[in-house]
Amino acid sequence: MFNLRNSLFFRVFYITKVFNSTSALPHNQLIESTGRIFVKDKYRKFIDQIRITVSGGAGGNGYPKFQGLGGNGGNVCLVANANVKLNDLQKSNARFRAGDGQHSSRNSVIGQNGKDLEIKVPVGITVIVDEYKKEIAHLDQPGDKVIVAFGGRGGDKTNSYFGTKGQKMAIKLDLKLLADVGLVGYPNAGKSTLLRALSRASPKIANYPFTTIQPNLGVIEYDPPKAVQLYNDRSKVKDKSEFYDQDYRRITVADLPGLIEGAHRNIGLGHKFLKHIVRTNLLLFVVDIDGFRNSGGRHYHRSWCSHEPIEVIQSLINEIDLFDEEILEQKSSILAITKLDNSEKREQFNRFIEILQQTNLNIPSTVEKENLIKKSNKQSSMNVNSDNSNQQSIEHHMINDNDTTLIMDHNPPDPTGYKFDKIIGISSLTGYNIDQLKGLIRKLIDMNAENNRQCKLKMQNC
């Protein structure tokens, strides 16, 4: 009999079936109104370090009666692959063993070698021997290969025809993201919003610090507008060729979690964040025009101090340099002042630039070296010249109100201090100067690539 209970069950079953059939996305994703796919937070798992045990195959035993040779054990290799993640390795067995060599026998006097085992790992992996904490390989390009455990030797007369065991060790796979640009800034500075404006990535955005708790990757696309791609008609689209070439170029951007004071001492998981800067080609400092403000509440720790923009910039320089002093020396950088959403903020940016051009940004490692030189040099002429240097006039770099680009060079008063390659004011919310920033990023990356090419040619000629 078709009663009320059966009717309710039928309705629930029918509705569930309809929704399941129309949903094309997994249960852990949803589509936003803008067409972006957003993954729920509880399913976001980013792994940048795992530990595995690798063992080479054992060598096969020989056959003394016929002087048979046992097969050698297989090797364990790591191969860089762009389509693999560390999450895939973590789901599999943490112990990997290559094939054993074949024993020599009456029917097979010479045993076959064991089969090598190739483990696919992400590009950007650093292989570290866990026991000695020593780096043995860097897999930075797809197809890079390294043997991490050798197989045992097959039995022959030198080892009394007894095959030896394969090499066994525990190794750590440490992933450092390979990106062209790394976004560096304090918490809640607008890095994720900027990544969303530059690319089609969908990082989590909220009005509290440490919204980003894992690195996010985005891709800047230098594509022509769709109307140009389909009809080759530029009359109805905005021409951006004055900012950059629209030639389908791709540049990757890494949005790193916010840094705090003491990150170089691994405070707040600082090393897990800072290590991803090492393999970027360009540093993009993202600083709020209002600096960092501790507004209180459950999202802010009471020990966090509010900082003006200049103090935030100096703090970021300190943390990066104290972590690895070669980063600031080798990489170009852009300072992007964010949240210039209205004319008042842009006037505030003008006042900030006037102060910045008169401020010396110290590099801790450079200052330490200079102090050592001053202590070793006891000539009195240094004290005489110091008075004259302080009397030099400082040029003001105020921007005119009619200038709407807000892009300029950085000219600090002291040449030994840190100098940005470019300074730009932007608004990720309104899109102000975003296209200009894309052009700057591409220009500096191309300049670095050309400089590196010239250096390699000089080294080859020498």
SS3 at position 50 = strand
Alpha carbons 75 and 57: distance in angstroms, whole number: 7
Which positions ≥6 away from 62 have C-beta within 8 Å? 68, 69, 70, 104, 111, 154, 155, 156, 157, 161, 162, 163
CA gyration radius, the chain: 29
In a 3-state reduction of DSSP, which class is residue 176? coil
Domains with residue ranges and CATH for the chain: 49-175 (2.70.210.12), 181-376+389-461 (3.40.50.300)
Question: 173 near 127, Cβ under 8 Å?
Answer: yes
Q: Alpha helices of 331-433 — where are they, by DSSP H?
A: 343-356, 364-376, 381-390
Quote the CA–CA distance of 315 and 293 in Å, as a whole number: 14
pTM value is 0.68
Length of the chain: 462
Each residue's pLDDT, cut to its tens digit, for the chain (462 residues) gives 445 455 544 444 443 433 343 334 444 444 344 433 344 443 345 677 889 999 999 999 999 988 899 999 999 999 999 888 887 787 767 889 999 999 999 889 999 999 999 999 988 899 999 888 889 999 988 999 999 999 999 999 999 999 999 999 999 998 877 788 989 888 878 888 898 888 876 655 444 444 445 677 888 888 765 544 444 544 544 556 667 777 778 888 888 776 656 544 544 444 566 777 888 889 999 999 988 765 544 444 444 556 789 998 998 898 888 888 889 988 999 999 999 999 999 999 999 999 999 999 988 887 765 665 555 454 434 433 334 333 333 333 333 434 446 888 898 888 888 999 999 999 998 989 998 999 999 999 988 888 888 888 888 886
Give the whole-angstrom CA distance, residue 130 versus residue 440: 41
